[in-house]
Structure 1
């Protein structure tokens, strides 16, 4: 879902939230970006379920509790130790994350009584929402909810939620004797992350085994289908690793008998016929204009909000940098040049100036397009995407280039003919004429290169592709 543009009030509120986290955690690198907390350029991962409820954003007190809870986590939890001790089984990992968050929420400084109220309100709001949405109506949901309630109750020395106390009583009575020793250990060792983790792992393992046994004993139970919704709500399907690229599909490399016999050495028979060329020079100008008109009509029918895409790209790829001062403001630093106006016009309040920050990008986005024959049927849709992205990047002030790779001819061309004429020596390596295409270079903006991008629609450019060399070429640019 596209992020909605923030109002000045929302932006200022987020800045205050980030300042609160910086102050409480003593970490000067915390800031808000795209409605998420970052440390430098790295998003902060918090997987405890009660820190992620969407309803938090609309409740000021709960949001304060959320921010306070995150600050305590940064201040009182050793991230490296936590990652080292974390189990790999998803259910155990979820509970371990939840219990560690509960532990740090007991570390509230005595003088910050408001923090305790905010954190409790945040958890209560999440608990009530979880219950009222019907997720406690399944065995799994009720078990996880009860474990969360009694664990927090023991650690915080507070009663469980009054709204669901009677509802969870039978489940609590059944599991407390099983979890009693682990719960006591959590309370006793809450000031030591290392010792506390041993009991947290024990409790997580017991509960995970109970869940697995329940689902295995009733594999065809219709209620198990509802349990999937509960798992999603409890964030079990999150990628717990901070590397967000882990879920990207990767192609498994194949094997080549010739490559193996050549001692895994990649070689090129000849580079004499290889070329790097502006793609637009391979297409007649009149045909380019025709392609561009066709492309414009297709994009117009899509009804895409390119400005919104540009804002999102700027939020991801740009960092704010100081860019002078903004004058005539109603708050900020007092502008000494306007003091005389305070005397002549006492009602005037625009006597201040503020530091102005504008997004700045020092990156280049390169699009490398496979122009082999198999891509010919998809190229019209790809060209639409590329054109929109390049235009949006330009609006965001981000440099981009569009590259492609193919060959000059089918089945090797002149390089193959040369190999045949020399008696077919063994292990010749690559027998193709590589052709690297430039549809738009980094120094040309979208408006000047829009016609050249349309050269992607020229079907006879698509022949064969030398992928690895093309990637190396694009990276070296």
Structure 2
């Protein structure tokens, strides 16, 4: 094998390894690895590489395939596919850009691969055959628009000319939704459904669809009337059957948490069609909880912590948190070491002996001395199931937590995140509050629409991602200081926050999943409770927690700061200060790792 062939083979293996790591397919059944190698990747193109740009192209295309496997759920994608055929190519492009953006944020190398590859692609555009708008495919213009607005690729003059023919229509349609779509990149359900809705409402596609209908109608007019009547009857009965089926599906799925996910509030057309009042969006949201309603989700927000404040302010707040940590440094070190020992002890380490390769087994060396003809013996540590674990810390960011409670919560998150990651346990840190006091824009909308009775939840939610499970603590530690910003802390609507965290957690591939809720008591939102029953939010929280405890394989544990929360959670701890974390946390948290929870 010459040097060139050797290099290409090494490059091929590097591509395969990278894709497996990014997509996490190395954790799947070995059968899938063969499919990954032969059918989905463009490694065979390596043999025909001629220049540097082709290397970049192969890396970018395989990065994209890996990210598709990691971030794109096929069933969600297909469920939200626009019915209008003309929209579908744009819809597919939008999803591709979504998971490529998530990958670009995850790893700098992936971002560079995409930037270089798209720049090379845009430079190759041939303008000789493009003279007017009809010569430009809207899919090409849309891809350039998405690269500009989302992936921030530098647009070459050739590409800018392509975009210019469709720029007005695209800007008028999409510019006003870009912020919302960016905030929901990690939520495929919301992102896909919103894009589908936007595309279906584009006037250019309406015109194309009308033209198709007109052509179809002209063809049908050539048939005899009896055939038309028969077809109409068949069509009507078919439509009736579809409606009956959809209604039956809705009834059968009432106890499924998927039917009431927070991320589906904005996408359920069936619920919207059932509303007797067009303005009010009283949507069911809960686990079989018909009593819980939401007035509108239009102003809700899922935000990354780093996007809520300037980097300078976040750094300043983190320094404030570090100052608080200083006085507890000895306690933190002891706690971290003790908790780590407890968790590592649960791993039940085991070795395989008398192997032909691995680590040299020094205990068998004496027999070599006695008889030199004996072969060396090796050992290897068995794979540990314990590592296949993820923990979500969901922290109440309400106004009642202001001061010492939120400081304790931030310290808890910081300590637990660092300690658990030492034990190879992935940790996600989330927060929940509202965007405004007294209802915000949701209440304003309700006032304008005539103040309907019992409107349901009446405030603008703000759910915050401080640290995702796949991000290391060192990369996200600054974000935890944001909890100390007083202006952030407002109302707390616990039931919907737990639903949101639950849905994020259940999508994870880890076998063992644990949710820890850090709160200071009951859910409170003055705007909602002033126009609904006094226990409206509390009842919903209890139903959500009960469902997770009894009908899911996710463990849920609550830490009440200064308040007893055992009336909501079966497993609950009460602490009043960081000093109490040691004994209480070790006893409760390490206990969760002993055995996987059995479904009831």
TM-score, normalising length from structure 1?
0.40
TM-score, normalising length from structure 2?
0.32
Greater RCO, 1 or 2 (C-alpha within 8 Å, sep 6+)? 1
Q: Highest CA radius of gyration, 1 or 2? A: 1
